[in-house]
Amino acid sequence: MIRHTVSPTTPLMQAPLILFDTETTGLDSELDRIIEIGAIKYVGGKAVEEFWSFVKTDIELTPLIQNLTGITQGMIKDAPAINEVVPNFLKFIRGGILVAHNAEFDMAMLNAACNRLGYDLDWPCFCTVKLARRVLPGLPNYKLDTLAEHFKVTFEARHRAVGDVKVLATVVKNFLEDDEYEIETWADVADASIAK
């Protein structure tokens, strides 16, 4: 069991927040695999460290996935395997709180990869889709593109792990720094957390 717990009173601006995203071969956490993982660690609203890796897989990338992500078979053929990437990622997130957009998907992919390697991961994570639904009622939808437009952010690289994380960072920064949202501690995002 690899576990990290957070007190309800933990201030989010002081805790390490690890904003992360995965690109995958598909949408099924049991059948599909991670092909890219990217994360940026923020403390006090400032980026302090970055993690990024392609991940080699035996699953052939479909034209749909290649078109969506811009990732080709050739780009991942010499990448490290998941059994190398996951332990390094687990070191990177140590002591932090995970944050993802549509976090149920990313956590399902991460947990499945961990389980296949014999790790049982129990980690605090909150979802910015769930949070945005609560604090920004009335948006047409809660896709990352819509939130980017709402907060006037542009993508460096859409559907690429670090590119998406950089946009997500601006969204999270707005949520934490704007007093109208009243988000200060872990308790304030508990309703948007992803249960194990």
Report domain extents, the chain.
Answer: 2-192
- pLDDT mean across residues, the chain: 95
Q: Which of 85, 69, 62, 97 is nearest to 186 (CA)?
A: 97
Share of the chain above pLDDT 70, in %: 99
Q: In CATH, what class is 2-192?
A: alpha beta
- Establish whether 159 is a catalytic residue: yes
Tally Cβ neighbours within 10 Å of residue 43. Answer: 14
Q: CA–CA separation, 37 vs 53, rounded Å?
A: 6
Pull the structure tokens for residue 112. 């499945």
Q: Is the pLDDT of residue 159 over 90?
A: no
157-180 mean pLDDT:
89
Continuous segment of H or E residues that includes residue 22: strand 17-24
CA distance 113 to 169: 25
Phi, psi of 29 (to 5 degrees): -65, -20
pLDDT at 90: 98
The label of the residue with tokens 């780009």 reads 75
Q: Tell me what the mean pLDDT of segment 101-122 comes to.
A: 97
Bridge-partner residues for 23, per DSSP? 36
Q: How many other CB atoms sit within 10 Å of the CB of residue 70?
A: 14
pTM of the entire predicted model = 0.95
pLDDT in tens, 54-83: 999 999 999 999 999 999 999 999 999 999
Catalytic hit among 4, 101, 150, 159: 159
- Alpha helix (H) residue ranges in the chain: 63-69, 73-76, 82-92, 103-116, 128-135, 144-150, 161-177
pLDDT in tens, 8-38: 999 999 999 999 999 999 999 999 999 999 9
**For residues 133-153, average pLDDT:** 95
Structure confidence at residue 163 (pLDDT):
87
Instruction: Determine contact, residues 113/88, Cβ cutoff 8 Å.
Output: no
Tokens of 182: 């009243």
Q: Report yes or no: 54 and 35 within 8 Å, Cβ to Cβ.
A: yes
